[in-house]
Chain A
Amino acid sequence: MRTAVVLLALVAAAAIPGSLLPQRNVASDPSAVASFYAENPGLAPWLDRFQLFDVYASAWFASIYLLLLVSMVGCVLPRSARLWRSVRSAPPAAPRHLGRMDRYVAWTSDVPSDEVVARAEATVRGLGYRVEVAGTEVRGERGYLREVGNLMFHLSLLVLLVGVGAGRLFGFEGRVALVEGASFTNLRSQYDAFTPSVWTDVDGLEPFSFTLDDFDATFESGSVDAGAPRSFLADLTVTREGSDPETVQVRPNDPLDVNETKAFLTGHGYAPKVTVTDGEGNVAYSGPVMFLPLDQTYTSEGVVKVPDAVPTQLGFEGLFLPTGVIDDLGPRSVFPDDLNPLLVLTAFTGDLQMDDGAAQSVFTLDKGGMKQARGADGEPFKRALAVGETMRLPGGEGTLRFDGVARFANFQIAYDPGKEISLVAGVLLLVGLTASLAIRRRHLWVRVGPTGEVEVAARSVTRRPLPAGEVDRLLTALDAPRHTSSPTPTPEKETL
């Protein structure tokens, strides 16, 4: 038991750093480790060497909990063997000195001893004890289920390990953002981010596809919590293998479920629709562009890249404001809904450097080969557009029209084949634990001496006190004189 205490304390301590340092593969912020690296270039590699950005998948964390589980099995299996033997054998004989038990009562009775024994046996049995009579001694034991519960609880931790392991070995998680009207097919290549496990069948993902037909968001417009999100709803058209397309509504806490692969609605943002013409007057891009929300009012930042523009490629950078105001504080959004959409952009010309093969973020411009467009006064060229307005770059290098607003939705798609196992483990754990803590295993003895001396004793095997009243009922049934009861203090008990 001492080992168990020490190892449990170690597990608790080992879990702490992971909550304070950014972690890889932890959902909250995928770029947290990278930004920590950028801010602490000296420290981060050292932390990384000790797997401190992967605490919960680290070798040292695993070795502590595996050690704990091994010691648990080593502890609990002998205990269950003992339990098995005690269930199969009769309740134990009374110790010689019953006076040392938790409760002890003795008196001299003139009732014949076999009648006392018979009455005691019937009463103790009636109290739900397993009873054994040996001569003039009645032995009772009750509460085996406590041990069964304890066993079930501890072993459920192994089941949990299997469930967690199955998820970690065969499951996957991925993210994809879709603009209204766009479609997704469940193939690895279509994900924005995809985290497979060791043995994920990457080429055998559940076959289905869906289109985001419409995304609807409502926000609190009253004075209390103004702007707080109130509902999100994504209308999807889903095609599963071998069946016709059907419409499905997805909300937070209410995912799309295709054979256990689930798509969760986890966020949303705006995608302003723009049409860009290039220096030669041809349309070089037309469509929505996702902007990344920065705050609660959905002030969003993003870029428009137009690699097809000639004679020079075009890039735009700036903010989208769903309910925009421009005042002394600068351009900002004051409400998350698109009540007064504004697009505030600066422009760049030159080479977007999208051909060299390196992956680029869709939310930033690589300005290495770009030149900022400037007005006649030499200041950076900048425009705030309302829907329908157009900005014309100085020197006739192109135009951008703000056509309207679409929304995009973020989906988290996950498959975890171990979660049912973990759920079963959770239920076993809870039931076992409750039984183990609520049921009191205890012994009860009645012994009749040759001179009519009757002794009644009870002992709790657990740390919980004996249930009130059981012994009293036995005493009443045996016609014990009142006030013979002499409670003795609980002796220190050793459980293991």
Chain B
Amino acid sequence: MNDVAWAELSNSLIYSAIAVYALAFLGYCAFAAGRSTTPAPLPEMSVAAGAAGTAPYPEEAIPSGEPTPAGRTQFLGAAAISLTTLAFGLHAASIASRGIAAGRAPWGNMYEFVLVCSLAAAGAFLATVRRRPIQALGVWVSALVLIALGLAVTVLYTPAGALVPVLNSYWLVIHVAAAMIGGGVFTVGFIATTAFLVRTRLDRRGRRTGMLPSTETLGQVAHAAHMFAFPVWTFAVIAGAIWAENSWGRYWGWDPKETWAFITWVLYAAYLHAQATAGWRGVKASWFAIAGYAAFVFNFFGVNMWITGLHSYAGV
């Protein structure tokens, strides 16, 4: 196959991935609707610290002989996860074939960043959902991935090609890969944190909802995601500094992109501290995670589009 064929394959694969994510999204919607209408509240796993890993899906305990509503809901959840896994595979294959077409690591422009970052988000979700009962977050994860990919193929699309010379650096490959993986996992952290805040509010008002996992589960998933993503992001910032040193002799120049990476980092550090501060843990701390994510997203879109700096792909 030649480069053009690989590039075309990559494009077909991403459209297929979008289609399958969309099906998964519908599955999650049906799952969430099913949970919220199932008469008896589903037993939430009592996720005690020591019991983690004993029964990943307590709902499975529901007898599944005749098709009870709960059983059907369960089936929908599992189907949606399988679809997400399939879409994830297509998505990954699309990125890989783009790499082959361009003859380089496939993260060199905005289109490719969005692809890789949303892949990391989907991957982080799939990895977490194997351990924690958070299928209900699938609606939001698949919706965000769909929005990201939709933007990518419509607004940001760039044909596969080589890179401008300054981007041709080994450290850059590492830097961007780490930033996108960190960003993907932060996305899952953001979704879990938002759901945590929503669920906390609903619980306070005494409203029962099966649409969202318990605050306990959400809190733990959010914290775990941030704990994973924060060092990855730290590494991305350091690798970026090394690249900058290599390419213009200044490892830190307060370029807008660097500044916002710093702001993101500091806000997440504030989040981790707040989580360890009496009186701030939980709801208050969560707002720092949300602010951190907002800074990350602004850096990704806002800085690239509205503020010019030395980062050469800035023209999209």
Contacts and interface: CB of A to CB of B under 8 A. Distances in A.
B85 interface: no
A254 B242 CA distance: 13
18 contacts: A5-B270, A5-B288, A8-B266, A23-B254, A26-B254, A28-B308, A103-B48, A173-B249, A173-B250, A228-B162, A230-B164, A252-B165, A416-B250, A419-B251, A423-B242, A485-B50, A488-B48, A495-B276
B293 interface: no
Contacts of A496: 276-277
A434 B231 contact: yes
Interface stretch (B59-67, B118-126, B257-265): B257-265
Given A264-B249, A419-B251, A488-B48, A11 B266 contact: yes
Contact of B168 (A20, A29, A253): A253
B273 interface: yes
B68 interface: no
B256 interface: yes
B50 A433 contact: no
Interface of A: 1-2, 4-5, 8-9, 11-12, 15-16, 18-20, 23, 26-29, 55-56, 102-103, 164, 173, 220, 222, 224-225, 228-232, 251-255, 262, 264, 266, 412-414, 416, 419, 422-423, 426, 429-430, 433-434, 437, 458, 460, 463-466, 468-469, 471, 485, 487-490, 492, 494-496
A70 to B, nearest CB: 16
B234 interface: yes
Nearest to B239: A426
Contacts of A466: 49-50, 52
Interface of B: 46, 48-54, 159-162, 164-166, 168-169, 220, 223, 227, 230-231, 234-235, 238, 241-243, 245-256, 259-260, 262-263, 266-267, 269-270, 273-281, 288, 291, 295, 303, 307-310
A320 to B, nearest CB: 22
Given A23-B254, A416-B249, A433-B231, A18 B46 contact: no
Contacts of A4: 270, 273, 277
Given A20-B307, A430-B231, A494 B278 contact: yes
B276 A9 contact: no
B277 A27 contact: no
Contact of B255 (A26, A251, A255, A485): A26
Contacts of B256: 19
A437 B227 contact: yes
Contact of A262 (B51, B164, B241, B249): B249
B169 A253 contact: yes
Contacts of B307: 19-20
A16 B255 CA distance: 12
Contact of A253 (B230, B247, B280): B247
Given A231-B165, A252-B247, A15 B50 contact: no
Contacts of B274: 5
A2 B277 contact: yes
A245 to B, nearest CB: 23
Contacts of B267: 8-9, 12
A194 B136 CA distance: 58
Contacts, number: 175
Indicate the member of A20, A252, A460 with the most B CB atoms within 10 Å. A252
Contacts of A231: 165
A15 B266 contact: yes
Given A228-B164, A412-B249, 19 more contacts: A9-B288, A12-B267, A16-B263, A20-B307, A26-B255, A28-B308, A56-B254, A252-B166, A253-B165, A255-B249, A264-B249, A412-B248, A416-B249, A423-B242, A430-B231, A430-B235, A468-B53, A469-B53, A492-B281
A4 B280 CA distance: 12
Contact of B263 (A15, A173, A252): A15
Contacts of A423: 242
B251 A8 contact: no
A102 B49 contact: yes
Given A426-B238, A490-B49, A437 B230 contact: yes
Given A12-B266, A19-B303, A416-B250, A460 B49 contact: yes
B280 A224 contact: no
Contacts of A464: 227
Contacts of A262: 249
Contacts of A430: 231, 234-235, 238
B276 A225 contact: no
Return the 5 tightest CB-CB contacts between A and B, nearest first: A414-B249, A103-B50, A487-B48, A465-B49, A8-B270
B263 A253 contact: no
B151 to A, nearest CB: 21
Nearest to A468: B53
A485 to B, nearest CB: 8
Contacts of B248: 27, 264, 266, 412, 414
A2 B249 contact: no
A92 B54 CA distance: 29
A23 B259 CA distance: 12
Contacts of B242: 423
Given A28-B308, A422-B251, A489 B46 contact: yes
Nearest to A437: B227
A473 B124 CA distance: 30
B189 to A, nearest CB: 13
Contact of B166 (A1, A253, A416, A492): A253
A460 B51 CA distance: 13
Contacts of A1: 273, 276-278
A437 B307 CA distance: 34
Contact of B270 (A9, A485, A490): A9
Contacts of A19: 254, 256, 259-260, 263, 303, 307
A204 B104 CA distance: 43
A98 to B, nearest CB: 13
B297 to A, nearest CB: 15
